[in-house]
Structure 1
Amino acid sequence: MKRTLLLCFIHGFKGGDDTFGGFPEHLQALVSHGLPKVDVRAIVYPKFETRGDLAECVSRFRDWLQEKVIDIEVANNTPSPTVDPSVRTILIGHSMGGIVAADTVLGITSDRPIGDADSTEPILNSSMFPYIQGVLAFDTPYLGISPGVVAHGAEGHYKTATSALTQLSGLTGALWGGKAASETDKEEKKDPAAALPPASEANASLPSWQRWGKVALYAGAGAALAAGGTAAWLNRDQITEGWTWVGSHLEFVGCLMKGEELRKRVAGMGTLNKELNIGFCNLYTRLGKNALSKDDGSMVGSVIGNQRTFCNLPQKEGKEFWHEAINDESGDEIAAHTTMFYPKDNPGYYSLAEDAKNLIVHWPIKTDWYESSSDDT
């Protein structure tokens, strides 16, 4: 019977069907060339709710994957899918999708969730269904997000805010009727009455906002705040719903804040690689030439350095599972993270695809399972 290698792509937080662009088809073609005896297929997990409990999301994905694999097994007329499956799957996740992939295979091989505090060393189950051959992650923050992402982002926001304040200070003169704000402030310090509008007949003909100057502006601001408070009260249900939405999303990505759980997940994948020959790798983005030039004179670059990545890297254990994918075009970590599957934004796109293909082809697929694949029914 013809064996099937299923490449299953899982997008990350707030991602969708377009996350991977044309990468699934590209990688499918490369792997088909490298593994000609099997039927290589690529499927993309549809857009899902990236909110709520991560374990629930993993459970929904596992049910969906199981149905897809059963459909293929039925079409292949497989005598015993659980004993000798005709389908093996590579889970390919981007960002948080890599965590969903890892938790899926950890659950299938141990039937215990990664966050189970009462769990002891799991008993590994090699007779898994669906059969997961490997987890290939792309820029997944298995050990959390790099501090540089926050630091460089904060520096950019600081510069933007400084520029905005400079423009705003130049605008204040126009707001106060053409006189520079600093001059007005000096006059008010000398004579507090200077802030009050002059009571003259000529002045009475002016529009109210000019006649009453700052007094009218402050009163208007107060009225606006009062109106805003009223609107907030009237829309309190929507605001509460909004906070619930935010909290639910934070719950989904909250696993990135649980250091012990993160380390446990990576250690679990290392064990599966060693004991069950399940492939595991995280191809992470690192900024190249364009970012290095921007570090000159940077208040952040002098502290964090120029090795700018989106995800934290292991210091000792597990380093063999992290492979860098350099992006010489992007100037910041988040842009490199979100555009890694688009050749126009990532000059290293084709090298990335080749590295992914080599990993999959050289994982222990060429076993009796692979060699027994044929077109005979």
Structure 2
Amino acid sequence: MKKTLLLCFIHGFKGGEDTFGVDYQFTKDLRDLVGQALPKVEVEVVVYPKYETRGDLGSCVSRFRDWLQNKVIDMEVAAGTPSPTIEPSVRTILVGHSMGGIVAAEMLIGLASEKPIYTEDGIQKAEKPTFNSLMFPYIQGVLAFDTPYLGISPGVVAHGAEDQYQNAAQAVGAISQLSGIGASLWGAKTAGSPSTSPAPPKTARALPAPSASGGNSWQKWGKMAMYAGAAGAVAAGGAAAWMKRDQLGEGWSWASSHLEFVGCLARGEELRKRVACLLQLREELDVDFANIYTRLGKAAPSKQINVVGTVLGQDRTFCNLPKKQPGGVWMEAINNKATDEAGAHMNMFTPRENPGYNKLAQDATEVIRGWLQNCWYETSAEEPLLLKDIPLTKDGLSPETPQVENTV
């Protein structure tokens, strides 16, 4: 029986039908390339429908898991697979962009650890959990695109502040607004609730001036950025840039309803455990994990910036990259047209905005091809011929039927 490799695409924060290109172009391109690289299997694509990136991460993961399970059940039934949990004819690769990669990772960890109940941060993870290989649906790997598994790079906000604002005090004024509506983003507590008054017209949404009684603005800015520099923590301003990249100061009321979803990026210990679980799955169950991340190229010259006494690296990326601990397979995808990290992040799958689009698709194909060099792939074959389709000789035997000599 010819088996099926299912590529399941999951969009990220505030993504939707156009995340993977106009008319889902990237999903089609990757399907075709993988089909050529792995001719022994059928390659099919499903795209998780647009979902609300509101509420806690666990609820989102739970809904996705149920949806995918139903999809694969239908495929196994249609294929007539005798035992889909023991010998599945369908294996799935979860392909997530941005926060979609975290949804994918959480779903996989929950599936392999047989934990259907999710906390607000996803699966409750032990330091070294026990995994079961008999998972359904069977996940072959998680292929992430620019997913901030270790948090958002502090350079996202640092470079943006330097390039877009006249001084750091203005940037502080904008970023400090987050403290009133997104305490969950960095664990702070606030006395009041976020304002529910309607947002002003777009033309009137100027950056608020810093408070005169607020002390040294640069110190506040540095403190905010320092959270991002901590292991796995998200930059406060980086999160804002990610949520609404066109204007850091626009639409805080819009962002406030979604902070709970991205709040998991602020919890460094959970970020570390998630990556550790993915590495453990690779070692114990041969379930793979890779993250193809964006890096700015020629259009955005590299430069060093001091933030809280720390010199940020010259390579400008959207994601924090692993340094001291193993982080799986991380591959760079250079965008020579993008001028800022958020732009490269959002336009990964748009050929006119990403000159490296073709290489991105080819690199992703090679990653998937490498993952399928296993027994499951090698034993995939074309459907056997039915008896009525087998040509017979005049003796009623197939030409391939061996002749047995009667020696009696």
TM range (shorter): 0.7 to 0.9
Note if contact 2:109-2:123 (Cα within 8 Å) is conserved in structure 1.
no
Matches within 5 A, 1:315-354: 315-354=323-362
- Which residue in 1 is equivalent to 2:16? 16
Q: 1:237 to 1:351 in 2, by over 3 A?
A: closer
Aligned to 1:155, the other structure's residue is in SS state helix
Q: 1:243 to 1:314 in 2, by over 3 A?
A: closer
Larger RCO, structures 1/2 (Cα 8 Å, 6+ apart): 1
Unaligned segments of structure 1, at least 5 residues: 164-235
Pair 1:249 & 2:252 matched = no
Q: 1:312 to 1:120 in 2, by over 3 A?
A: closer
Superposed displacement of residue 2, structure 1 = 2.1
- Which residue in 1 is equivalent to 2:397? none
Superposed displacement of residue 86, structure 1 = 0.6
- Which residue in 2 is equivalent to 1:89? 92
Please provide the CA RMSD for this pair.
Answer: 2.7
Q: Distance in 1 between matches of 2:29 and 2:90?
A: 21
| 1:49 corresponds to which of 49, 52, 55 | 52
Q: 1:330-356 CA deviation, whole Å, 9 max, x = no partner?
A: 110000000011111111111111110
Aligned to 1:159, the other structure's residue is in SS state coil
Note if contact 2:5-2:44 (Cα within 8 Å) is conserved in structure 1.
yes
Unaligned segments of structure 2, at least 5 residues: 171-194, 200-250, 386-408
Q: Distance in 1 between matches of 2:127 and 2:370?
A: 32
Pair 1:70 & 2:78 matched = no
Q: Distance in 1 between matches of 2:5 and 2:376?
A: 14
Note if contact 1:89-1:133 (Cα within 8 Å) is conserved in structure 2.
yes
Q: Distance in 1 between matches of 2:123 and 2:143?
A: 24
- Which residue in 2 is equivalent to 1:307? 315
Aligned to 2:299, the other structure's residue is in SS state helix
Q: 1:100 to 1:237 in 2, by over 3 A?
A: closer
Q: Distance in 2 between matches of 1:370 and 1:321?
A: 24
Q: Distance in 2 between matches of 1:48 and 1:285?
A: 24
Note if contact 1:277-1:364 (Cα within 8 Å) is conserved in structure 2.
no
2:75 maps to amino acid: I
| 1:103 corresponds to which of 90, 102, 106 | 106
Q: 1:368 to 1:20 in 2, by over 3 A?
A: closer
Q: 1:148-182 CA deviation, whole Å, 9 max, x = no partner?
A: 0011111233139999xxxxxxxxxxxxxxxxxxx
Q: TM-score, normalised by structure 2?
A: 0.69
Note if contact 2:144-2:290 (Cα within 8 Å) is conserved in structure 1.
yes
1:331 maps to amino acid: T
Q: 1:162 to 1:143 in 2, by over 3 A?
A: closer
Max Rg structure: 1
Pair 1:147 & 2:150 matched = no
Q: 1:243 to 1:339 in 2, by over 3 A?
A: closer
Q: 1:228-279 CA deviation, whole Å, 9 max, x = no partner?
A: xxxxxxxx86659x98874441110000000000000001000001111111
- Which residue in 2 is equivalent to 1:218? none
2:364 maps to amino acid: A
Q: Distance in 2 between matches of 1:72 and 1:40?
A: 12
Q: 1:153 to 1:120 in 2, by over 3 A?
A: closer
Q: 1:324 to 1:158 in 2, by over 3 A?
A: same
